[in-house]
């Protein structure tokens, strides 16, 4: 997914307006979210060949929307992804995503198409587009409760992220241009909805862009981007992220492609 939210994303509880608490207290009390299914994006479309397998590892560093005004918040997350070819341009992906407050496993499909350039498996140069969909589950997220009044007001976390079940769905799209067989530039967008026990549904939106390289079987990329978190239709400002990753690709099983049967002299298809 999407990038991780600030652990103290300001969110105004419904009861707070009636209680008449100070806005600063409300921001502190709003440190609530379900974690993303995937917090990284895994590089340029076309990185993995149609019949290649790959393992990729990426990490992301996120800051909140106060970056330009001197915010000190920062958060790290990362994951490992395995891709396996199922058909021409279609891969199954299984991955794990981790931070200091979640561990989520997810699986899905990625469909990749070369939309411009030479139609040759040995020539990566050209433009690519891909779509990916997936779902996942694990543990994580933060939930806080407010107790007391006035000077005795206290905010404390409820439960542990490591005992809170999480479910989520994600979807994304990417576009990339391989300038040569070794270098590309790309952009990606991703959206996901996640649910955790006793926490409202959380939506994450991210966009990233950057360069990608691949030399032989080894690939690497870095990207910068923006992320946003929403709960109950209430969205914070955009945060900032930096993401980098490495991949190793290996030959996979031959992917079947349809082959037309030859015709006989009467124009009929010959039976095998």
Q: What is the pLDDT of residues 71-113, one digit of tens each?
A: 455 789 999 999 999 998 999 999 999 999 999 999 999 999 9
Range in 162-166, 200-204, 228-232 with the lowest mean pLDDT: 228-232
Q: What is the pLDDT of residues 139-176, one digit of tens each?
A: 998 887 777 776 677 777 788 999 999 999 999 999 99
Q: Which residue has the tokens 């914070």?
A: 236
- Mean pLDDT, residues 116-138: 93
- Mean pLDDT, residues 21-26: 35
Q: In this predicted model, which residue has the larger pLDDT, 205 or 63?
A: 205
Q: All domains of the chain, ordered by start, with CATH? A: 14-251 (2.40.128)
Average pLDDT, the chain: 82
Q: Please report the pLDDT score of residue 9 as a whole number.
A: 43
């Amino acid at each position: 997914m999407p990038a991780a939210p600030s652990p103290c994303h300001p969110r105004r509880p419904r009861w707070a307006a009636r209680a008449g608490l100070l806005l600063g207290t409300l921001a502190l009390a709003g440190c609530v979210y379900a974690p993303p299914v995937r917090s990284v994006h895994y590089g340029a479309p076309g990185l993995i060949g149609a019949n290649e397998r790959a393992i990729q590892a990426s990490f992301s560093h996120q800051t909140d929307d106060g970056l330009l005004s001197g915010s000190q918040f920062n958060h790290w997350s990362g994951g490992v992804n395995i891709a396996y070819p199922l058909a021409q341009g279609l891969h199954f992906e299984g991955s794990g995503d981790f931070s200091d407050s979640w561990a989520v496993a997810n699986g899905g499909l990625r469909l990749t198409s070369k939309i411009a350039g030479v139609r040759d498996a040995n020539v990566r140069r050209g433009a690519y587009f891909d779509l990916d969909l997936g779902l996942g589950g694990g543990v994580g997220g933060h939930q806080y409760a407010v107790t007391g009044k006035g000077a005795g007001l206290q905010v404390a976390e409820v439960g542990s992220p490591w005992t809170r079940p999480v479910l989520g769905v994600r979807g994304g799209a990417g576009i990339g241009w391989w300038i040569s067989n070794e270098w590309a530039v790309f952009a990606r967008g991703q959206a996901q909805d996640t649910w955790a026990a006793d926490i409202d549904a959380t939506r994450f939106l991210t966009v990233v862009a950057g360069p990608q390289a691949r030399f032989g079987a080894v690939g690497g990329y870095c990207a910068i981007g923006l992320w946003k978190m929403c709960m109950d239709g209430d969205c914070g400002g955009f945060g900032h992220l930096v993401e980098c990753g490495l991949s190793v690709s290996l030959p996979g099983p031959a992917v079947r492609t349809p082959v037309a049967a030859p015709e006989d002299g009467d124009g009929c298809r010959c039976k095998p």
